[in-house]
């Protein structure tokens, strides 16, 4: 499930491979994503991330915006390499002289002119990007206060409050902050909210550090030791030995994992 850290890593990989290169083949496989590209003349200027949105910018003034939702991904191959994706899952193919980039199971593919990007509804309403260099935590707190009756778990997932956090990090951030996930925003002081959002930035930035190839919040890379609470319902808390609980809640009925003893 791609979150902001996954999207930023994907953007970095695609940027290193494609930025400055001319498009030699363009094959959209979905009607909404179709638009003419001057193959052999249009270049890819850069690839970057905005929260959970991946933005591929072209020299003709257009931006390709993709959102992975739960299962989408971009794959990158050398010419002649076998694709690790079935043909029917490929929604777009972009080739350069050296690379083949394919969008696999990507549910949201849309074109927007660069000049209109800042006014695009999914982008203009985004809160501060948790991974951005100019992250403004005071703005995040102000945005969270707009919905005082939201739980802190829902506030972390609200992309208009804070862009980039998803369901895995939500549970991990709250555990590391020792914050009860279903506490209302109105019940938390600014300093408490600040601690939660600072933990969000700390955890997510750690997971995009060079050499980090597995998402981990515990500091351990083994797949059975890398997370504190996520998908560990019924197992012992790694800190206190109590039992990890799980509840589905919020607008999208997402799962939240927490330790009732550590997160009172």
Quick one: pLDDT at residue 240? 97
Which one of 94, 124, 154 terminates a domain?
Answer: 124
CA dihedral 38, 120, 159, 71 (to 10 degrees): -30
Q: What is the pLDDT of residue 169?
A: 97
Q: Are residues 240 and 168 in the same domain?
A: yes
- Is residue 81 part of the annotated active site? The answer reads no
The domain tally of the chain equals 2
Contact between 18 and 47 (Cβ < 8 Å): yes
Indicate if 2 belongs to the active site: yes
Q: CATH number, domain at 252?
A: 1.10.8.50
Domain with 63 in it: what CATH number? 3.20.190.10
Distance, CA of 164 to CA of 23 (rounded, Å)? 29
Residue 132 covered by a domain: no
- pLDDT, residue 13, reads 96
Q: What is the mean pLDDT of the chain?
A: 94
In terms of domains, do 114 and 141 share one? no
Q: Which pLDDT belongs to residue 211?
A: 78
Residue partners of 13: CB distance under 8 A and separation at least 6: 76
From the list 2, 28, 128, 181, the catalytic residue is 2
Tokens of 38: 């001057």
DSSP 117-160: HTT-HHHHT---BTTSTT--HHHHHHHHHTSTTSBHHHHHH-TT
Q: Are 152 and 185 in contact (CB under 8 A)?
A: yes
241 backbone φψ class: left, alpha, beta (φ>0; ψ -120 to 50): left
- Residues 172 and 228 sit within 8 Å (Cβ to Cβ): yes
pLDDT digits (tens, 9 = 90+) for 116-168: 998 998 899 999 999 999 999 999 999 999 999 999 999 999 999 999 999 99
On whether residue 263 sits in a domain, the answer given is no
Is residue 3 classed as helix, strand or coil in its secondary structure?
Answer: coil
User: 210 an active-site residue?
Assistant: no
Which residues of the chain, if any, have pLDDT below 70? 1
Residues 67 and 152 in one domain: no
Domain match, 221 and 186 both: yes
* 11 in any annotated domain: yes
Among 53, 4, 70, CA closest to 254:
70
Q: Are residues 191 and 110 in the same domain?
A: no
pLDDT at residue 223 in the model:
82
Instruction: Look at strands 62-67 and 245-249 and give their pairing.
Output: unpaired
- The catalytic position among 28, 52, 170, 181 is 52
Query: pLDDT digit string (tens) for 180-200?
Result: 999 999 999 999 999 999 999
Write out the residue range of the structural domain in which residue 25 sits. Answer: 4-124
Tell me which of 93, 124, 155 is where a domain ends.
Answer: 124
């Amino acid at each position: 499930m791609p979150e902001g850290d996954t999207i930023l890593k994907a953007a970095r990989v695609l940027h290193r491979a494609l930025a400055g290169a001319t498009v030699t083949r363009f094959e959209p496989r979905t009607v909404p994503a179709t638009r003419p590209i001057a193959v052999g003349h249009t270049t890819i200027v850069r690839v970057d991330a905005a929260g959970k949105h991946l933005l591929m910018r072209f020299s003709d003034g257009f931006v390709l915006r993709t959102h992975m939702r739960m299962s989408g991904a971009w794959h990158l191959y050398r010419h002649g390499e076998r694709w690790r994706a079935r043909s029917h899952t490929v929604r777009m193919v972009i080739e350069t002289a050296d690379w083949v980039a394919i969008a696999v199971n990507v549910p949201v593919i849309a074109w927007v002119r660069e000049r209109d990007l800042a006014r695009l509804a999914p982008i203009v309403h985004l809160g501060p990007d948790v991974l951005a260099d100019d992250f403004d935590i005071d703005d995040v707190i102000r945005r969270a206060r707009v919905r005082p009756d939201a739980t802190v778990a829902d506030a972390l997932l609200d992309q208009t409050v804070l862009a980039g956090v998803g369901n895995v990090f939500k549970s991990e951030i709250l555990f590391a902050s020792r914050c009860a996930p279903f506490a209302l925003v109105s019940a938390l002081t600014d300093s408490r909210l600040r601690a939660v959002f600072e933990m969000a930035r700390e955890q997510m930035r750690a997971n995009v550090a060079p050499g980090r190839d597995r998402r981990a919040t515990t500091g351990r890379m083994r797949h059975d030791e890398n997370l504190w609470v996520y998908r560990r319902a019924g197992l012992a808390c790694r800190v206190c030995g109590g039992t990890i609980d799980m509840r589905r809640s919020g607008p999208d009925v997402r799962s939240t994992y927490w330790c009732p003893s550590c997160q009172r």
